[in-house]
Chains A and B, each alone.
Chain A
Amino acid sequence: MERLRIWRIGLLISLVTLFLAGCSGDPSLSVLDPKGSAGEIQLNLIYWSLILMTVVFVIVITIFVYVLVRYRKRKGKDIMPEQVHGSTKLEIIWTVIPIAALIALAIPTVQYTFELAETPPAEDTVIIDVTGHQYWWEFKYPQYGITTAQEAHIPVGKKVLFRIHGEDVLHSFWVPSLGGKMDVVPGRVNTMTLDAKQPGMYQGKCAELCGSGHALMDFKVFADKQGDFDKWTASMKQPVASVSATSSEANGEKIFKQNCIGCHAGVSQIKAPNLNKFATRSTIAGILPHNEQNLKIWLKNPQAVKPGTLMPKIDYLNKDELNDLIKYLDSRK
């Protein structure tokens, strides 16, 4: 029995260590550190249920430990326990009390479920049409006529209605620090309302297995102050500045038009991210930090970066051509 107790203490210590080591999610990604009202509501409910459940757990474990210690077989003693059938009184107690606890849980649950399903009034809301593709996200702003990919901008403090569309397989749109997720279902339009209370960058994930590249189907949501958001929308609507005819960017543009534009401007059947204002994006393909080196890595072998992506290898360009293409892409501000 002595050894048993030592094991238990060891287990307890390791659990506590885990707890301490674990209490540090990243603010841009953590459910436990919400930055929007949906996330706050959800975290409230998480904590409320956790408290109730912890109470239950403590009661169970107290009885459990007491019983194990008190009624274990002792050496040299051989008693015959009384063969009790049950106790109606006790059984009623542990039926009624859980029911009461569940009612206390069900009321806010139903209330919040309906609250989160409400669609905000259209005039005061930014609408974003999200489309999930294998393995990237497309964002369209019907009110502003903007199309972009991988990075969405939203104004701080305003309700944002995400209308979620699907074209290929199921995905799920999730920005943990703003609020819970909504599935991308081909043939349906789902809606979800989020807002951000503080400016900042919030990371988004695809949460439904969608193929080889599922793990890397990341995106970002930037919450900007209203002024910055207006600036962003204005700049997105401006056409890309034309490049001088002789520069290497011009050569890059030529290469782009010959090799890339079919998919990246929606002419072809295959849909690829719109690269308007590509230079302003913080990532390449939603995952690699945006720099020249990574752009080369991506272009030369996209499959190695994001398995399953439809982007073909651009490994047939010579060094100069590749540099020109990259210069052109990074000139699209």
Chain B
Amino acid sequence: MATLIVLLVLVLFLAAIFTGGYNRQFLERMRNSRTWDWLTTVDHKKIGILYLMGGLLFFLIGGLEAIFMRLQLFAPGNDLFVGRTFNELLTMHGTTMIFLAAMPLIFAIMNAVVPLQIGARDVAFPFLNALGFWLFFFGGVLLNLSWIFGGAPDAGWTSYTGLALNQYSPGPGVDFYVLGLQIAGIGTLIGGLNFIVTIINMRAPGMTFLRLPLFTWTAFVTSGLVLFAFPAFTVALLLLMFDRLFGSNFFDHAMGGSTVIWEHLFWIFGHPEVYIVILPAFGIMSDVISTFSKKRLFGYNSMVFATVLIGFLGFMVWVHHMFTVGLGAISNSVFAVATMAIAVPTGIKVFNWLFTMWGGEIQFKTPMLWAVGFIPTFVIGGMTGVMLALPPADYQYQDSYFVVAHFHYVLVGGTVFGLFAGIYYWWPKMFGKMLNESLGKWHFWTFLIGFHLTFFPQHFLGLFGMPRRVFTYQTNVGLERLNEISTIGVAGMLIGTIFFLVNIIYTLRKGPKAEADAWGLGRTLEWSIPSPPPEYNFAQTPLVRGFDALWVEKEAGNKTMTPAEPLGSIHMPSPSYIPIMMSLGFFIAGFGFIVRGIPAAVFGLIIVFAALFLRSFDYDRGYHVEPEDPEKGGKE
């Protein structure tokens, strides 16, 4: 508590020094500073950039953890990171990559793109959008603070109980997992809810559901999955918190509890989570492939249908993570068949992509390279996915390196490739600068080759009897060579990522300015407005006259969209410090619970409730801006 006050004073003090002394104008200056602007922004474009930076930061941290693990596994009997330390690394790698890298990066692109693609000036709940980001960020920071305060969680990203209970994981590690993810998870839930309402209520005139760009469709379905899957995780974490902090007995079999309940709750959330992170990648691929093939997306309706079907089936298959729990042949068979069924809509998507390119004019710009690299990689991941869906075969694969190989093919080959494609594709729209093409190509090739070198051999490691989550393996059973290759491959991904970072830094300083239609091939609404867009996005709400709205206008010989309303002043929401304040409150409360400091926890919750009251009594009506006339500003 005392530390907290000291820290607070220190922050104020530093702020005063950096802004030129503490006096009457201090608050005024702080309010006008750029930092304050970013901390209190409710603009979806800025929040998108915040998500991007946060996600990339955690992506690097998670990557570092992966490098450490591969170094340890380079040779049998290594003693770089053994036992508990290795378990901490594998837990934090998985947790960080899923919750703190993949999800925020997806939200980054959704924030940057979805409102533009549907012709909206903003999201439905700008305030909640900011709150979602700050909750994710503080949750992520809380989770990673575990490295400094008493050890990271070490029970796996699945945190199966038994092991995750106090008795077997003493110390605060798993508490950081529980509270950090709970806070980040609430943020994600809020973000998902915001996007569903945005897509339902904020579409421009003429933008019917069957004219939505595919990325928006996948964002819509993903948000729905977030909304209905995350509460299961909320409950799981809540019960685990009760067991660890307040002595309840949900998972302690000696007191009548059951670890299988955790497994069910976790995977009822966990399997939809897989689709939450892969569906937006599908959407990105669809937009990118269509754009760079200069062709309309092949079989749009069936693509939409497949997306919805995958989202729906995603809730019906969670038990395929539990084939070896001993739930019986009937249950295993039912869930196996349901799982196999998902291959059908996924296959439809792959063939539609191929036939979108068929007959097109393919340009291999960096985003397209990622999309092209994605197809075979993801198909391999899908193949092993079907193989894993067969219970008898799964008895062998389960918890072996075969599974590790499979989900990295899907999550890296699918999600990460998709995210890179999306980042390269929409970077000009977000920042107004083109990323460098040759650095982008170096990034792609080194990363792709490194990826396959790392993960392809792992299929065989699994089949040769290497369980996952082990810090070492035996000599002379055929595992050394493949592990060596796998570790070497990591270098490729590392070099690729360095190329990417260099590209970002280089471009932000020197990159060429991007046009409104940055690639010259734009088909959807976001390419009809300047890069980066003005704070109100559209000076006049556009009238949508078909799928690929901008392309329709281009074909009709128009250079811009037809406006649906006269030019007039535009209402904007005011920035707010309440989101960051409330998230800070959650952070303090979470930390208080973890260190069993009840006063701190109560103090944090008081901040949360204070923020809620402030918000409830806040009748801020926003402000109005006069847009520049696009007819005068844009054309000449």
* Distance between Cα atoms of A30 and B362 in the complex (Å): 44
* B163 & A209 in contact (Cβ 8 Å cutoff): yes
* B360 & A209 in contact (Cβ 8 Å cutoff): no
Cβ of A241 under 8 Å from chain B:
no
CB distance from A174 to the nearest CB of B (A): 7
Number of chain B residues whose Cβ lies closer than 8 Å to a Cβ of chain A: 100
Cβ of A121 under 8 Å from chain B:
no
Cβ of A82 under 8 Å from chain B:
yes
* B84 & A308 in contact (Cβ 8 Å cutoff): yes
Cβ of B431 under 8 Å from chain A:
no
Interface string of B32-56 (1 = CB under 8 A from A): 0000000000000000000000000
Interface string of B238-269 (1 = CB under 8 A from A): 00000000000000010000111000000000
Cβ of B68 under 8 Å from chain A:
no
Chain B residues positioned under 8 Å from A63 (CB to CB): 351, 354, 358
A209-B160 contact given A29-B477, A41-B392, A105-B390, CB 8 Å threshold: yes
Cβ of B573 under 8 Å from chain A:
no
* Distance between Cα atoms of A311 and B500 in the complex (Å): 49
* B386 & A53 in contact (Cβ 8 Å cutoff): yes
* B400 & A209 in contact (Cβ 8 Å cutoff): no
A64-B375 contact given A110-B333, A116-B392, A183-B325, CB 8 Å threshold: yes
CB distance from B345 to the nearest CB of A (A): 9
* Distance between Cα atoms of A112 and B333 in the complex (Å): 10
A106-B336 contact given A29-B477, A116-B395, A179-B395, CB 8 Å threshold: yes
* A67 & B357 in contact (Cβ 8 Å cutoff): yes
Contact of A215 among B364, B470, B481 (CB under 8 A): B470
* Closest A residue by C-beta to B332: A113
Cβ of A42 under 8 Å from chain B:
yes
Contact of A182 among B154, B324, B551 (CB under 8 A): B324
* A205 & B467 in contact (Cβ 8 Å cutoff): yes
* A30 & B463 in contact (Cβ 8 Å cutoff): yes
Contact of B399 among A24, A85, A181, A186 (CB under 8 A): A181
* Distance between Cα atoms of A26 and B482 in the complex (Å): 13
Interface of A: prevailing SS: mixed
Cβ of A245 under 8 Å from chain B:
no
Contact of A45 among B392, B469, B551 (CB under 8 A): B392
Interface string of A146-187 (1 = CB under 8 A from B): 000000000000000000101011101010110111110111
* Distance between Cα atoms of A147 and B326 in the complex (Å): 25
* B328 & A117 in contact (Cβ 8 Å cutoff): yes
Cβ of A122 under 8 Å from chain B:
no
* Closest A residue by C-beta to B86: A215
Cβ of A316 under 8 Å from chain B:
no
Cβ of A60 under 8 Å from chain B:
yes
* Distance between Cα atoms of A267 and B156 in the complex (Å): 33
Cβ of A99 under 8 Å from chain B:
yes
* A25 & B300 in contact (Cβ 8 Å cutoff): no
* B340 & A106 in contact (Cβ 8 Å cutoff): yes
CB distance from A63 to the nearest CB of B (A): 5
A81-B360 contact given A64-B354, A168-B168, CB 8 Å threshold: yes
CB distance from A36 to the nearest CB of B (A): 12
* B337 & A205 in contact (Cβ 8 Å cutoff): no
18 further contact pairs, Cβ within 8 A, besides A64-B375, A99-B344, A203-B465: A30-B464, A60-B375, A67-B362, A68-B357, A82-B359, A84-B355, A85-B300, A90-B355, A95-B348, A170-B163, A181-B395, A181-B399, A185-B259, A185-B325, A190-B325, A190-B326, A206-B467, A210-B162
Contact sample, A vs B, 21 pairs, CB 8 Å cutoff? A15-B456, A18-B457, A18-B482, A22-B457, A46-B387, A49-B387, A53-B386, A71-B362, A83-B551, A86-B302, A98-B343, A105-B390, A109-B391, A116-B392, A170-B160, A180-B396, A181-B399, A183-B325, A207-B468, A209-B87, A307-B84
Q: Which residues does B use to contact A, with CB under 8 Å? A: 82-84, 86-87, 154-156, 160, 162-163, 168, 253, 258-260, 293-296, 298-302, 324-326, 328-329, 332-333, 336-337, 340-341, 343-344, 347-348, 350-352, 354-355, 357-364, 372, 375-376, 379-380, 383-384, 386-387, 390-396, 398-400, 445, 448-449, 452-453, 456-457, 460, 462-465, 467-474, 476-478, 481-482, 485, 551, 555
